[in-house]
Amino acid sequence: MGFSLLDKFLTWLIRYGQLTVTDHRGRVHVYGTVDTMVPVAIRLNDSGVALTLALRPDLAFGEAYMDGRFTIERGNVRDLIALLMRNLQATGGSLPADRIMRHFRPLMLKLQQANSARRSRQNVAHHYDLSDQLYDLFLDPDRQYSCGYFRTPTTSLEQAQLDKKRHIAAKLLLKRGQRVLEIGSGWGGLALFLAEHYGVEVTGLTLSTEQHAYATERARRAGLSNRVQFKLLDYRAETGSYDRIVSVGMFEHVGVTNYDTFFRTVHKLLVPDGVALLHSIGRADGPGLTNSWLRKYIFPGGYSPALSEVLPSVERAALWATDIEILRMHYAWTLRAWLENFEKNRAQIAKLYDERFCRMWEFYLAACEANFEYWGGMVFQIQMAKDQNAVPFTRDYMVAEETRLLEQASGSSARSA
């Protein structure tokens, strides 16, 4: 019965590419036909996994891969997830069970997104307080753990992350001596960049003890401790006044039920002519729910919102949305680079943790890449202000500032050569 259900599901799903499944008895089943997608073959390793995959594919595929209940005999995990996601896209982007769950979405969001200060600390610790060495093995040297800005698809990861910092800085209209608040400061790379290139004073907020210690030490080594400080503090507890506020890759952890609080806090902390910039993962297909596997194993409490869920809170906070930009394939290319780095250093990561951890993170990185390539994932940047006159009325200044930063970098490189 178990394989019969899985067989019906895969027959319904696979319209593009080819998936070959060898069941636990050695029988071979082929779905779809070979096309431009990489053909994938998997083997089911126990009698119960087929039923599990059929009943709860959103959770079970990741768990079964982590636990070795199926193995990939042709292609790799990236190829498998790309094949499944491409076909899910063709169905309208949802499984049959998802249509039922939509009726319970408001209740589920309240339960899943109730990110109090205490729960937020726990959620952050789950993902970000892992081994320092892990992040060194797959991120760029600056440890930018958010979407890069790729001028071309073949731009290197390190260059894309540097260009991301320049792109954000250009939107902040920074002036020497200004006070900048970074909500979700990570390992400190953006704060140090802004302080070094603009002479601003930066306060970074984080809930990760590991990131706080690392960023503080980086500031000390860079000789910027007098201009950059990091606080182990929830954004809701901050009381300062700032000329600029920036948040990159943190909003996904705020929780839908806290959006009003987040933007009202930004309004409260921003000076009258101040400017804020929010950089966050989003979804192009409207409100939804976080994938069950991703929520359980990678980002508890996490959610990527649709703009229709965000902008009403911006409006209620009496903030102008002075500029909105959508980055589409940029995060797919970022994740692809992270996964390639992860695979290059897999043996070292397995020594830090174990084989199951490696399979979990491979699945995570590959699934997220496919989400941005096939399933409506995107990144949005919203520039905000209290006063519509706080920023120029055309976008020319952004291009001019990025060009200045690029020319400055080129000049520095030429002088050091």
Instruction: Evaluate whether 209 touches 125 at the Cβ level (below 8 Å).
Output: yes
Distance CA 168, CA 171 (A): 5
Q: Which residues contact 24 (CB under 8 A, 6 or more apart)?
A: 44, 45, 46, 47, 49, 50
Note the Cα 155 to chain centre separation in Å: 19
Cα-based distances in Å from 79 to 84, 251, 360, 369: 9, 30, 16, 11
Is 273 in a helix, a strand, or coil?
Answer: strand
Instruction: Evaluate whether 303 touches 255 at the Cβ level (below 8 Å).
Output: yes
DSSP percent split of the chain into helix, strand, coil, nearest 5: 50, 20, 30
Distance CA 392, CA 400 (A): 12
Q: What is the maximal distance between C-alpha atoms in the chain?
A: 71
Q: Which residues contact 58 (CB under 8 A, 6 or more apart)?
A: 95, 97, 98, 291, 292, 293
- CB neighbours (10 Å) of residue 241? 11
- CB neighbours (10 Å) of residue 240? 9
Q: Which residues contact 239 (CB under 8 A, 6 or more apart)?
A: 269
Give the strand pairing for 270-283 and 377-385.
Answer: antiparallel
Q: Give the residue carrying structure tokens 């894309």.
A: 160
* Residues involved in catalysis: 368
Measured in degrees and rounded to the nearest 5, phi and psi for residue 249 equal: 70, 15
Distance CA 298, CA 407 (A): 39
Instruction: Evaluate whether 290 touches 303 at the Cβ level (below 8 Å).
Output: yes
Is 230 in a helix, a strand, or coil?
Answer: strand
Give the strand pairing for 228-232 and 201-206.
Answer: parallel
- CB neighbours (10 Å) of residue 311? 18
Over its C-alpha atoms, the chain yields an Rg (Å, rounded) of 23
